[in-house]
Structures are given as C-alpha cells and as structure tokens.
Structure 1
C-alpha cells in the first residue's frame, strides 16, 4: 500500500498531474490514475523516478526501449460499437499484431469478434470482468475480477488464461500490482493515449491520426478504444506512415522479452 512508502511516491504522483487532460492523479491517498506528459518530437514520456521504480518492482511496463523504432498496439474494449471488425481487417492487411484488453461484458456480447481476435493471432488482455476501480477492492475481490474474466474467456474462445492485465481507467495502487503478480498477471500501461472513448462525439479521422503521429516515439505502447470511428478510420494511414518512418509493430510478448533482457542486463 502507498502508506508504506511515505511522501516520495506521493510527490512523484503529483508531478505527473501535468499529463493527459482527464485528471491523471486521483486525490484518494491509496490510488494512482495513470498519466504522463504527452510525448513530443519522438521523446518517450517519463512517469517520474518513484513511479518508475514502483512499476519496475512489480514488472509493470508502459514503454519499450527508447532507441528502437518499435511500437505496440493495444486496444481497450468495454463494449462493441461495430468497428472492431474494421480494425481487425486493417491489422490483418498491415500484418500488425495487437493486444485487446477486454471486459466480461465484451466477452458476453461480442463472442464472435473475440474468437476472430484469437484466431488471427492477437493477444487478449484482462481488463477485469466488471470494470471496477481495482484499487478499492480487497485482494479477494481483485482475484475474482481477473479469474472470472479468465474463466469466461476460456469458455468463449478456448484461451486458457490471460497474463497481461490493465486496470480500468488506469486506476491502481501498489496492492493491485502485487496481488496481480502473485496470481501471474503483469500489468501493461501505455505511453500514447488521447481522448477517444466517446462513441457519440467523433472528432474526425484527422484528429486521431494527428494524435497518434504527434505522440509516436520509439518503444511506444499505444492505447486506443475500438468504439471510436476516428480510430478505425485513422489506423490504416497511421500504420503505413509509421512504417515509412522506420517503425515496426510487435506484440506485447516481444515487449516483455525485451524488458526481461534489460532486467538481466542482456539487452543490446
């Protein structure tokens, strides 16, 4: 729990309040809202020393190496808005892997799409079953959220279990990370994001494209929501133009292997 770490972590959390416009830090003393100052000019964002240490202590990741033009596509799916098939079409055409962090509602309401994700080789991440504030749950409650999701995923698409977790709305504390570790989950946050979760408030293809290109940096872990028409329309051009800049797209498995090599001192 954060109380055990004193004012250092709290100060680091207040530093990152300059990040995304949707209030990246919660006032509640026991929780963080993940956020950062947006990347500019290809420079990776930095969460601050204390938070970087907290994530490292639990194997949590939000970006890759700053000297490799690699990007990692991730999508959060709470419900289906008829756009994920188009996104999957783009990923297939561009041969770009992605990880979809799903909720229990999505598994129940969009099973055919989930099966297609798995069939086409994309990863499935655990975004919890009921999309609660994980930092307010007991360890038993956290375990229930993750394992209930995994049980339904296995029933729906034959996937034995997930190993990557992402807390709803980016809200977490140290206990969420440590309990997750004990249960075999590694938390994956993100280093590129923008306001794109309002299905009824489109801002246009150019908005999403510009946000993605302007924030792109080596090692970018990109978060998008599949309910946005902006994202579905911008994704083909973004992937192609990022490739023209020398970027490749890899899976979270590749990101984790790179992270492990760094921890072991084996990275180039």
Structure 2
C-alpha cells in the first residue's frame, strides 16, 4: 500500500491541464511591513479574497501564532523542537512529501509533542500551474503519509508553496477541508548560504511583531534556530501569548458568528 502511494505521488509530477473554476490569476503573498506593534497592510483585494475563501493570515489581541515551513531538513528542527518543549509553546509545521519521507521520526515527534502538522504539498509545485485534480492529489499524498506515520487522520491547514496562490487554489483547498494559512511576519531566512547570525532573525521578529501575528520561519535557518528561544522569552515579557492555529480558527469562527 505504501509503495502504491509513493508511485501515485510520483505520477503527480506529470503536467495536467488546469480546470476552470474561480479566477486563477496568480498572486505572490506579500504586504507592506509595519513596525511599532502594528499589523501589516495587505490591501482590500487580499482581505476580501481571504474572507470569501475562509483563509487567514493574522489574528488579534496579544496572541502570536508560530509556524514553520519544512521543505527539507538541515539539522536544526530537533533543536527547534527542544526550545518549543522547554518554553511550552505549540507551533505548526508545514511539511512536504520530501520531509515526510526523509524525516519520519521528526514528524512523529512533532505530533507526539502536541504540535500541529500542516500541508505544504508533496512536490512543492506552483499551485496556480496545476489542475484541480493534481492539487487535490498533492494534498492527499501528504495527508495519507502523515496518517500512516502518526495514526492521526486530521490535517486542517495548508500553506501554498512559496506563497503563490489564486482564488481557485484557495477554493479548491477550502473544498478539500483546508484552511489556507498565510503570515504577517516574515523575512528572508531560507537562504542557507547567506545566514547573518542570530541577531538578524531576532531583530526581524521583534521589529515586525504585532498583536495577532502569524510568524513564518524556515527550519533550515541556523539564524532562526539560534534566535528562537531569545525571541520567545522576550515576546512573553512583552505580554504576548503563544497560541495554536486551532485557537486562531476558533476566533475567526466566533467573529463570523457575531457578524
């Protein structure tokens, strides 16, 4: 069965035509960064699209949502998990097929220690360039492999590879039961040959932080690994509370009920 799944996921790399549904105009997630604890401006178009498709990028109050993208392992994820455990912080790890196949013990540890594991696709493609059917299979392959590794059947959150999306992508994901999660705090941290020291990561986090921040970090970054505990401790000192994406989703559902 496992062999069949892997063969199916390899077939996904073949090109397929894009189905007609919602607009497939591609966008790269981004925003004008703010400082002084003010959330970034993403613009009316993004705000309305995300609301229609029940996607999120920010919360409210002095809550922080820590998320990591795990495309591959670079030796720092175990240390990140150690820090999270020590500081009693729950995070979300968005994993790819490569990470699931190469690091099953780390995925199992994430689940065992109470973290959320989200979907980052099997092959890390540009979702706007694949068909609805392939997009669904990309998501299914990750979810099925995660279930085989951990026994957990639920996977609720998606982060599109490279932050490239369209309304069609968000709609397909929503119909498959996913909440697409973008971010409101991020910086260039994924270039492993251009690391700048822990202070670079720490300063970027502390300068961009704001109530309801969804922080995106890449676990391949040495800077992030070395800055993480300092940032968590100092954010707690400022009165921020670390929450899970489940908390964020519950808050959004309450807001909708109140409308």
Above 0.5 in TM-score? yes
Report how far residue 46 of structure 1 moved. 2.0
Residue 158 of structure 1 and its aligned partner are, at CA, apart by 1.7
Q: Which residue of 2 aligns with 1:58?
A: 53
* Separation (CA, whole Å) in 2 of partners of 1:39 and 1:101: 25
Closer, same or farther in 2 for the Cα pair 1:2/1:90, shift >3 Å? Answer: farther
Larger displacement relative to structure 2 (156-165 or 97-106): 156-165
Partner of residue 187, structure 1: 180
1:145 counterpart SS class: helix
Contact 2:22 2:171 in 1 (8 A): no
Shift of 1:108: 0.4
Structure 1 runs of 4+ aligned residues shifted over 2 Å read 1-5
Deviation sequence 1:15-43 (CA, Å, 0-9, x none): xxxxxxxxxxxxxx820000001121110
Confirm or deny: 8 A CA contact 2:22 2:168 kept in the other structure. no
Indicate conservation of the 8 Å contact 1:42/1:217, yes or no: yes
Gaps of 5+ in 1: 6-28
* Pairwise CA distance, 1:3: 10
Deviations 1:25-76 (A, max 9, x none): xxxx8200000011211100121112100000011000001xx111000000
Partner of 2:98: 105
Q: Which residue of 2 aligns with 1:87?
A: 80
| 210 and 199 in structure 1: CA distance in 2 versus 1, 3 angstrom threshold | same
Distance 1:4 1:144 in 2: 19
- Identify the residue that residue 200 of structure 2 maps to in structure 1: 207
Pairs within 5 Å for 1:1-268:
30-65=25-60, 68-265=61-258
1:3–1:30: 8 Å Cα contact kept in structure 2? no
SS in 1 for 2:192: coil
Cα pair distance change 1:156/1:214, threshold 3 Å: same
C-alpha separation in 1, matches of 2:156 and 2:212: 20
* Deviation readout 1:63-100 (Å, 9 max, x if unpaired): 001xx111000000000011001000000011011000
CA distance in structure 2 between the aligned counterparts of 1:58 and 1:210, rounded to whole angstroms: 33
Q: State whether residues 156 and 177 of structure 2, in contact with CA within 8 Å, keep that contact through their aligned partners in structure 1.
A: yes
* Contact 1:130/1:145, CA 8 A, preserved across alignment: yes
Secondary structure, in 3 states, of the residue corresponding to 1:125? strand
Aligned to 1:223, the other structure's residue is in SS state strand
Displacement of 1:225: 0.1
2:11 match: none
In the aligned structure 1, how far is the partner of 2:146 from the partner of 2:123? 14
Count of residue correspondences: 241
